[in-house]
Each structure stands twice: as structure tokens, then as C-alpha cells.
């Protein structure tokens, strides 16, 4: 393992200037435009392999290509040779983001807009929602999932194998001990639908299994591999060899957090190497992003307590996970496909709900079984750095808070008493420092009307039903 660590510590990917200064950037841009033109003329779809990688609670600034001291050479190389998605958005929390990815629909449509599915939660992503792996499987893809699910565990009808994946290896709930694979002392580790007891650090196990899926893949059919790491979600744990990479970080939480990210990066490097060895890399689209911003409030660390400071860094964005501010929803993201995606920075606004229709259009998958989508095809924003067709966006709407965007304007409306309304110009103020609501009452009213319209049609939050049931079933407590 230390051999991999040494490679990760020493490796340095090409700089963005190196890539862009050569002919590679120009040729990739032309290739990206040709893909767009071909699709516009209705030509045959390309059906690439897709490796979709999701990190868990990764801070916006906590990768090497953003200047962090945390070593991520493999992620940095993907960024240098691909498109950094500068305005990629998710939901503020884990379960809602994963649901949005799988459905192409905002979580308010099906009751997952509040909180995450807790260990005691009996609900999940509604079985009548047609998911991304189902659509890709119907289009001839081999669909494999490795990692964290967190879209329902209490009923097998919610599990990955029942939702379109040909194979599943990993955890069903949102937070596990990274070495014991347990939540509240109960093992949460599965292969397909069978409980599995095995030793090992989860990030390394996920990487090894992802490599195995690639090695054993029959290239006669395209591959969709969804690799959802549990890193760097709490608890902050890493093998000693990764902790030893950061002797100059005195804070124990941040040293472990850094080690977790580097451990994930090493496994991403192993996945890339496996694709290359199999001869699949040139026709593989790799997507990478975090499920939400880094955790800056202990209210949102998860089900276990965390002592000390929280290490994620979302600079220059405001706040973090669990909030609708930019630090909670604008995340590290990139897209990489050699010769098809132009290296550079893609500035267009993209939301995670856009990924299902974008991938469906790219692969020829039929979305006729999907309910009305909130997402749209944003391939031109990914492949050639063109303007995104997305001009408005819903950060989230629930009974307590609503946040929407229209062009440069963003409304944050906390309707709980005492209420608070904020309006930001994200083009001039991406850090959300200056509230412009008082100077723009008409824009505030317009965006509030949009929030109310969405609230009137949203599904009741399923989290509240579980929370209420848990509270009412608590045993009687009487003072001594």
C-alpha cells in the first residue's frame, strides 16, 4: 500500500497551462463540438463507458488543483486534462443529492428534500421513480455500483440491485465506521443483496472492487460504473500510512481528513490505470464531484459526535453542508473524456439533476419511463465550454426554507420565525457577503412567488414522519 502512497505523494500532473498551450486542447474542443453537431443531426449516439465518481462531504477548496496542501495528483490530472466544472451544484445534503442524480428531478418532488435518511428511517427513494441505472441498463449498459447508496435500506425494494444495478458492493446507510463497516454497532456491508463480513479500510476496498469490475467487464457492452466513496465523511479515520503523509498538520481531525482524501485519490488513480490496462480509457467518460459542500457545522456532521474543529475548507464560499448557501451546494466537479471534452474551465451553471438527461442523450437511453424531469441536457457546457442552457435553479424548498436562482440572482428565504430574506448577485458576489434584498424588492417578490409555487406542489417531507414517529415512541423519562 505504501508503494501507491509514495506514487501519490510524488506524482505531479501536467499543469492546466501545459495542456492548454498545446494542440491537445484545441483538438479536444473540436471533438467536443463535433459530438454536439452529430447529435444535433440525429446521428448515432456514442455510447461511451461511464465512470461516475462521487466524494462524500469534500470541501470546495480541498483538492490540489484548487491550491490545497492535500495531495490529490490523480484528481488534479483529470482536472488538468478535462473540464473543471466551476459552477456545478448539488443539493445541500447527501440523500437529496443522490436522489437528484438518480432521478433527474428535484427531491421536493418525492419527499426527500429534508435531511438524510437516518439509520432508523424506514423510507427510501420511491420505487415508482425510474432511475439512471434502469435507463442505462435498458440501453444495453452493464450497470455496476460500488460504494455508498443512502437511498433507502429498510426495505429491499429500495436497494441498488432492485433499482437497476446489475451489481452492488458497499454500504446502504449514510455513515459507517470506515474500518468496521458498522453503523451503531450493526454491520452495513453488502455484496449484491447479501450481508458481507470482511476486514479492510472501506476506501481501499471500494477502489479494489471497482478495479475488479473493470478487469472483468465484457467490452461487448458499454460499462456504467457508479463509484460512490464514503470519504471524507465522518468519522475522520484513515490508515496510519496516510496519516504519516501529513506530519506537518497538527490538528488530528484535519490530518485524518487529509489522509482520507489522499486515500480516495490513490484509488481513483488505480481505477484510471485499470481502464488504461483494459484498453477502455479513450472511450470512457469520467465524472467526479462531491455530494455536497464540506461540513462546517456540527449540526450536519452525521449521527456520530465529532470532537474538535471541523476540517473541510469551502473557501471562498459561504458556510457548508446542510445549508443552501454556496458552500453547501456548489461543489468540486470535473468531466474528463480524452479527445471529446476540451481541457479548461467550464463556467456554465450545471445542477446534478442535469446529469440524467445529459447521459441519456449521450448514450441513447430512453427516458420515457421517467416522470417530468427538472434536469436538462447540458452536454455543450461540459464538452466544449459553451454556455449552459440552465438559467434558473432550485437550491431547495422545504417547509422552513426556500432558495432559488434566476440568472445572477439568488434568493435565500428562511421562513421560520424569525423570518429572514436575503438576495445575492452571484456574478458580483459569489461569496454571498452583501444582501441586496432591500434594494431590489421586486426581484425578491418574484423569486418568493416562485418558492411559494414550488412549496404548494411539493411532496410532504418523509424525514418529518420518521422523526415524529421516533419522538412519540421514546420511553417515558422521569427524574430521580
For residue 409, list its beta bridge partners: 406, 425
C-alpha cell at 155: 426495505
Question: How far from 375 is each of 32, 265, 325, CA to CA, in Å?
Answer: 21, 29, 21
Q: Please give the backbone phi and psi of residue 347, each rounded to the nearest 5 degrees, phi first.
A: -95, -10
Q: Which of 130, 150, 153, 233 is catalytic?
A: 150
217 catalytic per annotation: no
Cβ neighbours of residue 389 closer than 8 Å, sequence gap 6 or more: 376, 377, 378, 380, 381
CB count within 10 Å of CB 247 equals 8
d(CA 404, CA 453): 12
d(CA 62, CA 52): 20
d(CA 479, CA 366): 61
C-alpha cell at 101: 442524480
4 catalytic per annotation: no
d(CA 135, CA 138): 5
For residue 272, list its beta bridge partners: none
- Using DSSP's 3-state secondary structure scheme, residue 424 falls into strand
Assess contact for 48 and 287: CB atoms under 8 A: no
Please name the residue that has the C-alpha cell 418532488.
109
DSSP state of 197: -
For residue 250, list its beta bridge partners: none
Q: How far is CA 313 from the centre of its chain?
A: 17
Q: Are strands 392-397 and 344-351 parallel, antiparallel or unpaired?
A: unpaired
Helix pair angle (2-10, 252-278), 10° resolution: 90
Q: Which of 94, 153, 217, 351 is catalytic?
A: 94
| Helix residue ranges, H only, 161-306 | 202-215, 240-243, 252-278
Catalytic residue positions, numbered: 94, 150
Amino acid at each position: 500500500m505504501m508503494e501507491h502512497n509514495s506514487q501519490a505523494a510524488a506524482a505531479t500532473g501536467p499543469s492546466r497551462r501545459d495542456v492548454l498551450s498545446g494542440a491537445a486542447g484545441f483538438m479536444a474542443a473540436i471533438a467536443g463540438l463535433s459530438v454536439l453537431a452529430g447529435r444535433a443531426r440525429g446521428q448515432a449516439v456514442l455510447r461511451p463507458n461511464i465512470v461516475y465518481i462521487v466524494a462524500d462531504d469534500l470541501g470546495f477548496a480541498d483538492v490540489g488543483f484548487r491550491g490545497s496542501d492535500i495531495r490529490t495528483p490523480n484528481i488534479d490530472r483529470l482536472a488538468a486534462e478535462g473540464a473543471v466544472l466551476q459552477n456545478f451544484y448539488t443539493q445541500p445534503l447527501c440523500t437529496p443529492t443522490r436522489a437528484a442524480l438518480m432521478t433527474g428531478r428535484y427531491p421536493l418532488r418525492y419527499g426527500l428534500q429534508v435531511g438524510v435518511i437516518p439509520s432508523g428511517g424506514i423510507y427510501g427513494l420511491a420505487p415508482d421513480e425510474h432511475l439512471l441505472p434502469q435507463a442505462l441498463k435498458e440501453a444495453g449498459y452493464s450497470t455496476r455500483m460500488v460504494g455508498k447508496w443512502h437511498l433507502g435500506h429498510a426495505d429491499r425494494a429500495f436497494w441498488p440491485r432492485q433499482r437497476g444495478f446489475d451489481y452492488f458492493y458497499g454500504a446502504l446507510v449514510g455513515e459507517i465506521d470506515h474500518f468496521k463497516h458498522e453503523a451503531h454497532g450493526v454491520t452495513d456491508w453488502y455484496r449484491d443483496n447479501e450481508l458481507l463480513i470482511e476486514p479492510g479500510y472501506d476506501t481501499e476496498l471500494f477502489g479494489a472492487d471497482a478495479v475488479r469490475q473493470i478487469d472483468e467487464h465484457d467490452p461487448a457492452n458499454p460499462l456504467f460504473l457508479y463509484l460512490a466513496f464514503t470519504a471524507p465523511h465522518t468519522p475522520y479515520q484513515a490508515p496510519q500510512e496516510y496519516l504519516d503523509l501529513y506530519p506537518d498538520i497538527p490538528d488530528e481531525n484535519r490530518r485524518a481528513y487529509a489522509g482520507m482524501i489522499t486515500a480516495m485519490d490513490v484509488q481513483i488513480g488505480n481505477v484510471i490505470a485499470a481502464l488504461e490496462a483494459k484498453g477502455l480509457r479513450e472511450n470512457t467518460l469520467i465524472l467526479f464531484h462531491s455530494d455536497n459542500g464540506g461540513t462546517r457545522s456540527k449540526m450536519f456532521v452525521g449521527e456520530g459526535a465529532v470532537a474538535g474543529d471541523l476540517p473541510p475548507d469551502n473557501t471562498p464560499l459561504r458556510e457548508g453542508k446542510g445549508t443552501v448557501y454556496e458552500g453547501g451546494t456548489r461543489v468540486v466537479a470535473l468531466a474528463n473524456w480524452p479527445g471529446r471534452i476540451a481541457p479548461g474551465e467550464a463556467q456554465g451553471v450545471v445542477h446534478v439533476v442535469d446529469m440524467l438527461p445529459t447521459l441519456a442523450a449521450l448514450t441513447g437511453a430512453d427516458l420515457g419511463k421517467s416522470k417530468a424531469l427538472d434536469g436538462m441536457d447540458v452536454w455543450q457546457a461540459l464538452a466544449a465550454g459553451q454556455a449552459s442552457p440552465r438559467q434558473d435553479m432550485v437550491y431547495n424548498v422545504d417547509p422552513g426554507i426556500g432558495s432559488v436562482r434566476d440568472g445572477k440572482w439568488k434568493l435565500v428565504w428562511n421562513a421560520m420565525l424569525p423570518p429572514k430574506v436575503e438576495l445575492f448577485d452571484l456574478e458580483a458576489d459569489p461569496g454571498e457577503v452583501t444582501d441586496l434584498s432591500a434594494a431590489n424588492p421586486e426581484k425578491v417578490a418574484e423569486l418568493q412567488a416562485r418558492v411559494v409555487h414550488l412549496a404548494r406542489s411539493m411532496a410532504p417531507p418523509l424525514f418529518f414522519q420518521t422523526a415524529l414517529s421516533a419522538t412519540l415512541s421514546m420511553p417515558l423519562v422521569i427524574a430521580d
